[in-house]
């Protein structure tokens, strides 16, 4: 490119130079040699060539490459789960995530999620909900988010009907069981969806979506197992509440779920959260959680159910964890949990180390 631009510049300057050397006959209607300023003409030529070179360089670099960003994350899981009669072995697993994001207008976003790791092979992973792909990378989802008439819309594979939900849970869950404040059914099981949200600007938001199991049966036909989700939420300075409705055809018997979340976050360095869920068969689940600052990190304590059930006598769950940032990109979280069973209770002791870069 540099050699090309030098040649191009020489070709532009050459006629002006030859014009100085060629004989000229001045007449009343002709430009005389005194009217020609070589330095000025050369400066103009150089300016135009430099501008052309800059535009060519921008074209070479790509029209949107500067708007593309990447984020990386990985979590190590070290621990054991004692499931009663036998002591669990201490295991080490990991997962990895890569996110790519590109904007074309400054208001939209094309996102690609890639995951890898082996964190779905042990009892520790079952409790923590790690991602596992057999030590290779998998494309986990591709989505496009854009504004439309005051709404925010997302569509793609790997998208849930609840992806644009506001939610109201402020609890920092340690295990997967306690995630979303004990309301695990929000969003259903669909693996592709279109969802939209609207912010009314006064603390109220609304969101909804429809999801499909498109990889197997296509969409919008009699064989498709679809999921419909709706949410309304309100957030103030110190508290928030949300109510979600999920109709999941992929659940056995086309199940409907009603999920409530609430949190209270005063000026003091703590937050209290609660979640409650019920299906159309009146099975329920719930969770109470407290997260508070202690020393250089934060302490989280949670109490609730393991799953939706009619009877919670052997379905209770307890967890405690302490999370602290070693630096801007590394966080260590030791914790433990107890899960009630019909026999001996299961207890897990786990340390996670999360990296983000």
Each residue's pLDDT tens digit, 263-320: 999 988 999 999 999 999 899 999 999 999 999 999 999 999 999 999 898 899 999 9
Is residue 121 situated within a structural domain? no
The H or E element that residue 305 is part of is strand 297-305
**E strands in 103-181:** 109-117, 138-148, 151-157
Residue 45 covered by a domain = yes
40 domain residue, yes or no: yes
**178 CB-contact burial (10 Å; exposed 0-12 / middle 13-18 / buried 19+):** buried
CATH number of the domain where residue 294 is located: 2.40.160.10
What mean pLDDT is predicted for residues 42-59? 57
The continuous run of DSSP H or E covering 148 comes out as: strand 138-148
* 273 and 199 housed in the same domain: yes
Helix axes 38-61, 2-21, angle to 10 degrees: 160
Indicate if 47 and 145 belong to the same structural domain: no
Domain count within the chain: 2
Q: Do 11 and 86 have their domain in common?
A: no
pLDDT value for 4: 37
- Does residue 125 lie in a domain region? no
Cite the DSSP H helix spans in 143-254: 214-217
- 209 and 288 in a single domain? The answer is yes
Range of the domain at 48: 2-60
Residues 332 and 340 sit within 8 Å (Cβ to Cβ)? no
**CA angle at 179 for the pair 170 and 151, rounded to the nearest 5°:** 65
Q: What residues form DSSP beta bridges with 255?
A: 248
Q: What is the pLDDT of residue 286?
A: 96
- Which of 73, 216, 98, 205 has the alpha carbon at shortest distance from 157? 216
Query: What whole-number distance in Å separates Cα of residue 320 and Cα of residue 315?
Result: 17
Residue 116 lies in a domain: no
Residue 51 pLDDT exceeds 70: no
Looking at the domain assignment, is residue 217 inside a domain?
Answer: yes
The verdict on 88 and 167 lying in the same domain is: yes
DSSP code string of 213-239: -HHHH-SSSTT---EEEEEEEEE-SSE
What is the pLDDT at residue 337? 97
- Residues 234 and 146 reside in one and the same domain: yes
Q: Are residues 43 and 158 in the same domain?
A: no
pLDDT in the model for residue 27: 40
Q: Does any domain span residue 127?
A: no
Do 223 and 285 fall within a single domain? yes
Distance, in Å, from the CA atom of 152 to the CA atom of 230, rounded to the nearest integer, reads 15
Residues 196 and 161 in one domain: yes
Query: Which among 193, 180, 197, 202 has a CA at the least distance from the CA of 308?
Result: 180
DSSP letter string over 46-84?
Answer: HHHHHHHHHHHHHHHH-SSGGGEEEEEEEEEEEEEEE-S
Considering the domain architecture, whether residues 196 and 235 belong to the same structural domain is answered as yes
CA terminus-to-terminus distance, the chain: 35
Q: Are 216 and 184 in contact (CB under 8 A)?
A: no
What is the reported pLDDT for 64? 47
Distances (CA, A) of 31 to 18, 23, 42, 197, 234: 15, 13, 18, 69, 77
Give the span between the Cα atoms of 182 and 80, in whole angstroms.
23
Same domain membership, residue 141 and residue 78: yes
The radius of gyration computed from the CA coordinates of the chain, to the nearest angstrom, equals: 31
- Which pLDDT value is given to residue 5? 41
Q: Look up residue 169 and give its DSSP letter.
A: -
| Alpha carbons 143 and 161: distance in angstroms, whole number | 12
Q: Is the dihedral of CA 21, 22, 26, 30 positive or negative?
A: negative
Q: Cβ-count burial of 353 within 10 angstroms (0-12 exposed, 13-18 middle, 19+ buried)?
A: middle
% of the chain exceeding 90 in pLDDT: 62
Cα distance between residue 308 and residue 314, in whole Å: 12
Those residues whose C-beta lies under 8 Å from the C-beta of residue 146, and which sit 6 or more positions away, are 105, 107, 108, 109, 152, 153
Residues 55, 78, single domain; the answer is no
Q: Does 195 reside within a domain?
A: yes
Contact 227, 241 (CB under 8 A): no
Tell me how crowded residue 279 is: count the other CB atoms within 10 A of its CB.
19
Residue-wise pLDDT for 140-180, tens only, equals 999 999 999 999 999 999 999 999 999 999 999 999 999 99
């Amino acid at each position: 490119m540099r050699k090309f631009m030098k040649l191009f510049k020489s070709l532009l300057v050459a006629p002006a130079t030859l014009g100085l050397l060629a004989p000229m006959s001045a007449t009343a209607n002709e430009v005389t040699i005194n009217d020609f300023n070589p330095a000025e003409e050369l400066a103009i030529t150089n300016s135009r060539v430099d501008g052309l070179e800059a535009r060519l360089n921008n074209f070479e670099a790509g029209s949107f490459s500067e708007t593309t960003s990447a984020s990386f994350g990985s979590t190590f899981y070290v621990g054991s789960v004692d499931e009663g009669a036998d002591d669990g072995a201490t295991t080490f697993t990991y997962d990895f995530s890569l996110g790519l994001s590109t904007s074309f207008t400054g208001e939209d976003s094309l996102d690609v999620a890639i995951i890898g790791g082996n964190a779905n092979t042990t009892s520790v992973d079952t409790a923590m909900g790690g991602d596992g792909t057999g030590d290779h990378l998998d494309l986990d989802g591709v989505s496009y988010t854009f504004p439309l008439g005051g709404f925010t819309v997302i569509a793609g594979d790997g998208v849930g009907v609840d992806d644009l939900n506001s939610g109201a849970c402020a609890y920092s869950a340690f295990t997967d069981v306690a995630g979303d404040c004990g309301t695990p059914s929000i969003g259903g099981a669909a693996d592709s969806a279109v969802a939209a949200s609207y912010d009314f600007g006064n603390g109220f938001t609304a969101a909804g979506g429809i999801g499909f199991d498109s990889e197997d049966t296509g969409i919008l036909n009699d064989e498709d197992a679809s999921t419909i989700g709706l949410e309304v939420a309100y957030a103030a300075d110190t508290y928030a509440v949300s109510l979600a409705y999920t109709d999941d055809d992929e659940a056995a018997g086309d199940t409907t779920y009603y999920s409530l979340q609430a949190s209270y976050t005063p000026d003091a360095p703590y937050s209290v959260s609660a979640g409650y869920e019920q299906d159309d068969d009146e099975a329920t689940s719930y969770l109470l959680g407290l997260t508070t600052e202690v020393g250089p990190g934060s302490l989280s304590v949670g109490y609730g159910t393991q799953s939706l059930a009619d009877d919670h006598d052997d379905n209770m769950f307890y967890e405690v964890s302490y999370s602290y940032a070693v630096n801007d990109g590394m966080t260590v979280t030791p914790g433990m949990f107890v899960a009630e069973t019909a026999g001996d209770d299961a207890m897990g002791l786990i340390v996670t180390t999360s990296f983000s870069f």
